[in-house]
Each structure stands twice: as C-alpha cells, then as structure tokens.
Structure 1
C-alpha cells in the first residue's frame, strides 16, 4: 500500500508570498495536520542537524521556526534538538553560529544526549546492533518532528531521514566509556574495531584535522591514536585518501545497522507520533558533520513531508537521482549525466541499501504517491 508524500517545489515563479517556499512549507504543515499527532502540552522533539564548523548548508532557521510555530499552534511544546557530534559546549556554539538558537527558532535548543553526550537509555535493536542507547530527550519525548537536510554521505551514500534519527538519535558517548554502547557502534559494527595501516600513512593530516575529539595525535613526525578518547565516529577513515584507516565492520552491516538504529529510535514512540520534513535543497556530497561543504551536486528540488519515513526517504532519493547534475560539482567531476544515479555514482556507495533495509524491517512503504502543493492555501 502506498503512502502519501507531499511535495513543494523549490521553484517560485510568481511575486506572491503564498508561492514562496516558506509559504508552501506552511501548507505542508497544514497538510500533515499536527493536531492529529500532537496533544496539548506534549513535549515535541524537533530533530535536526546543528551543522559543523566549516559547513553551512543545514536546514535554515526560518524553516525550523515555521515548524516550531506549527507545533505551538496545536498546543505542543517544541524543542529543537540534536545529539553531540563534538563536545557539547562547542556543538551548541556551532549551532548558534549556524543561526540556530532560541531567538531564531522560537523554542529551546538543546542536546538530546546532554551537554556531555552521556544521557541515554538502552533500547533493543536488531541482530547487528543488539542494543543501542537512544538519547534521553528523544527517548522521553511523546512526539517528534524529524527535519532533515538531504545530502550525500561518504559511508552511507545518502544522508536523509533514516540517517538523521539513526546516527542523530543515539548518544554520542556512554558513561562507561564503552564506544559500543554509543554511536560508534554503528560505524564499527559487530565485534570489529578500527583497523589502521600506518605503513600506508603519508602524513596528509586529514584525519588529524577532522577528528572531533582530538583522538588523532601528531607529534610533528608521526601519527598516533588515543584509543580511550576515540568515539569510533569513523570520520578519520572516511577522509583518508590512502585507505590507511578502516572503520571496522562491512558496508553492508553499516547500512543495515542504520535501519536497525532508526527502528530502535522509533520504537520509543507510539505509532503515528513522528512526522517528517525532508529538505532536498543544497544537496552537497558530504554529511553536515564534516568541516566543509562542497558545491551541490543537483539543483534545489524542494521540500517533502510525510508520516512515513521510508516513503519520504525513497521520494527524496528518487528526486535526486532524476535530477540533472550541476556543473562545478563532484557529479560533474565524475562525468555524470541526467539519468545517472547521481549520489551513488558520485560517491561509490548506494544509499538505496539502507532504505531497502528499513522497508524490510517494516518501518514504512517504498511505494508512495507524490502530492504536489503549489501554493499556501492550495487545498
């Protein structure tokens, strides 16, 4: 059975607010009918990505504010949240630099796993993960609105709604110090740990500069690693041009683990209490957690909205794959043309794998009906 996915095109050809993307977002909010999902005085997690020092293409504060206002309009109490990607104080400062703060979005801005990344609750996951710790403020929230910037990802191939709650809904650290109890377990699945081939290292120092915890050490001559301080986030492995660092586990296990972690996060909510907005805008080839933002690989497509995580994910991925690649981008560098599977062929990893895995786990339907919203008040 197909699910409804509402779509607002990024094109705006009439000089009228109701045809603007912000105006059309208001209509998308109306179509999802928050009143049927959110009760009066319920706390509502508005889950997004706070960005990174050097990145600049996250979902913009004006869009977050409109969603916050939609939650408030039905009596909900929203808070805008993410989990620690770097040390908590620094990450909140990154959010502020990106324009995400209580003044701009109209709601509290907080870290779901706490300032130190330890606040979480264990939740049963699938056979690969076994158990994962879901960030406490997401675990305890009665409802959630998942607001996603769609982009590429060097390890999963696609960063959409599934990755947003899978990697972004679990704790960055665990009080025991065991990385297998936190986000690192997604990257180094099973019993495998990071594997390093230092004989291949050319001292390009990309791993040193990208590490969020200072676990990569350089004494002026040699690279070494502080194992106790390593979160196993895999950034060093993803940027190493020589293949000197491997994240542990297999690509197939990682893709499946994303779906399992998303299932674990969603299991903490009653059915129907989670809604999704996916912004297929400024589709850069790398994740928002990286310290840069390359040029987009395709033109802005628009905003999707749905109550089905798999349907909205499939729709977003399809939009990107059907779009024409932009010049002066990674897609152009790879010689891609319209009709090619843009992100998969540009990155060498197919995000369809974790979308298929999520569907197999019963998180939603890959069959969808795309319903276009052309203006505010378009009923």
Structure 2
C-alpha cells in the first residue's frame, strides 16, 4: 500500500478506538508528551456551527484578507452534503469570506456555470455569494516537483483570494477511495474543462483510476497548497459518510458508518490521515464499507504520496476540544 498498510492503519486505529471509548485523544501526561515535531489536529465530537467556530479559532492564524471557503455544494438534492444552516451560521462569522466552487467535468447540471448556479439555488446555497471560479476561464499554477503534472489549470477567480479555508465533507469516493481535504482542493479547485481532465487523464484514458490517479490528485493539490502557503487551513466534517461522493447526488449509497465529529488542522496530510485513522478505528461492521472503498481504489496512496511530496506530517497529536 505504498507506505500505508492496512495492518499499520488498524494498529493506529486500535489506539484511536481506545481513545474513542475513553473520550481521551492522545492528550498524554508529561512522561508521554507528544514530540513537538508532530502536527496538531484539533477534534470536536460535536457537529455544529459553534464547533466549527471553536476549531477554526485554533487553526486560523495565517488567514486574512479575502477568504475563499472551498466546500462541495453537491448535486441536486444530494442527501449527504453539509447542512446549509450550519455552514451559514459559521460563514457569517468569517469577514470577507465567499464560498467557491468550480464546474465539473462529468455530464450534469454542474458542467456549465448556469446549471451550476441553478443547482446552488436548489440545494440552498443562497445565503452568501458563491463564486464559480472558472466561470471566466482558468489559469495555470505550477506543481513543484510534480512527476505527472507540471502545472494545474485552476479557476481563474482563485487568484482573487488571499486565503483558502478548505471546509470538507469527509466521505468515500468512487475513484479516490475517500474524499478529504486533498480531494476538495485538487479536484475542487481545478477548472472543469481543463484542470479536472489533467488529473483524471492518463494517456488516452480519461477516467483512469488507481495509484497513479492518486498521485496526480496529490500533485494537483500541491499546486493549491504551494500557491496559498501559510494562508490555508483545513476542516474535515465526518458526518453522513457514504462510500459515494456528494457528486453522486440522490444515488449515493446510504452511510453505514456513524457520525464522528469534526477535525481541523493547518496540515493537510495530518487532517486527512486523522480522518482515515478514525474510520479504521471503528468496529468492523461500521468501518467495513468505507475501508473496502478506500482499499479497492488504492485510496491510501493519497496519504503516502502527500508525504513523499513534502506536503505535511503523518505524525500528529489529536487534541480534543
């Protein structure tokens, strides 16, 4: 599994399971204090606007100016997308913030800007401006050290923002295995006509999956993280975690894992690994479907390749608020 074995995840998951059972998350005493080099990931069991505010306060030090809030607004009537009222109450506390999206590559209403705007209204994203960032085309961002991509075409409007808040509904994904913060920015900020095809295409095959797709997705994400530098932060909401992405709309499979809470960090690798660790820590019956989806798609390659690309730290301290 390219550096992240099922056995290793289950071992870390067992620790997380014990922590879940006791309500204590790696908040050791002085003799077992976490090394300073570990990334910090903040956790709340509560899923609410208030919890989002508390978590964001812990990780927002580099944020300022015009803030783009990247989230998945979903296909029409999607049953699992983030609750609009929760996001509305949270977004109201973020001065200068705008929800941002890009058009999609696959056929559907969100393939065009007009259809996308209509879907936003259908799904209740009407409480603040929503910027379809590739409505006026795209621009290229470099991918430092990319093996597959040297540049990524992103929505042109992305350059108008000073900071990026990645607000992610963590769940499974048909091609990615799971969709966390990495998928949210790599696919989500890529322009619909050009950038998404750059990530999804391998040779003559457009919808190519597997480990190399994960690597292209990571490289796409690296273009975004490099552009924003310290002015980016990540929040994963572990709620209604279907094996399918919110792009599946009403056809998404019913979630079989319980809601777990919210994770936040300034480290993209740490926040996505902590999310995956929590899935693996669940009892077998609750984790089975998501784990099968992750492993059958080589989804863990997202994590190992982010580490290889120097995008974050896979060693983290989980701090419960």
The answer to which structure, 1 or 2, has the higher relative contact order (CA under 8 A, 6+ apart) is 2
TM-score, L = length of structure 2: 0.80
Deviation at 1:91, TM superposition (A): 1.4
Deviation at 1:55, TM superposition (A): 1.9
Equivalent residue for 1:333?
A: none
Equivalent residue for 1:211?
A: none
Matches of 2:300 and 2:290, distance apart in 1? 10
Structure richer in helix, relative to its length: 2
TM-score, L = length of structure 1: 0.68
Contact 2:77–2:122 under 8 Å retained in 1: no
Gaps of 5+ in 1: 11-19, 174-180, 195-231, 233-246, 325-335, 374-379
Deviation at 1:342, TM superposition (A): 4.6
Contact 1:263–1:363 under 8 Å retained in 2: yes
How many residues align structurally? 275
Q: Hey, which bits of structure 1, 4+ residues long, moved more than 3 A?
A: none
Render the CA deviation track for 1:287-341: whole Å, top value 9, x for unaligned: 11123221112000011111111110001111112123xxxxxxxxxxx536x66
Q: 1:341 to 1:264 in 2, by over 3 A?
A: farther
User: 2:78 pairs with 42, 55, 58, which one?
Assistant: 55
RMSD, aligned α-carbons: 1.9
Q: 1:127 to 1:309 in 2, by over 3 A?
A: same
Contact 2:141–2:223 under 8 Å retained in 1: yes
User: 1:298 pairs with 257, 278, 284, which one?
Assistant: 257
Contact 1:9–1:21 under 8 Å retained in 2: no
Deviation at 1:137, TM superposition (A): 2.0
Q: 1:341 to 1:255 in 2, by over 3 A?
A: farther
Q: 1:303 to 1:355 in 2, by over 3 A?
A: same
Higher-Rg structure is 1
Equivalent residue for 2:277?
A: 318
User: 2:171 pairs with 126, 137, 151, which one?
Assistant: 151
Equivalent residue for 2:133?
A: 112
Contact 2:178–2:293 under 8 Å retained in 1: no
User: 2:188 pairs with 152, 168, 172, which one?
Assistant: 168
Matches of 1:188 and 1:123, distance apart in 2? 18
SS in 2 for 1:343: helix
Equivalent residue for 2:63?
A: 38
Q: 1:130 to 1:31 in 2, by over 3 A?
A: closer
Deviation at 1:29, TM superposition (A): 2.4
Q: 1:49 to 1:78 in 2, by over 3 A?
A: same
Equivalent residue for 1:207?
A: none
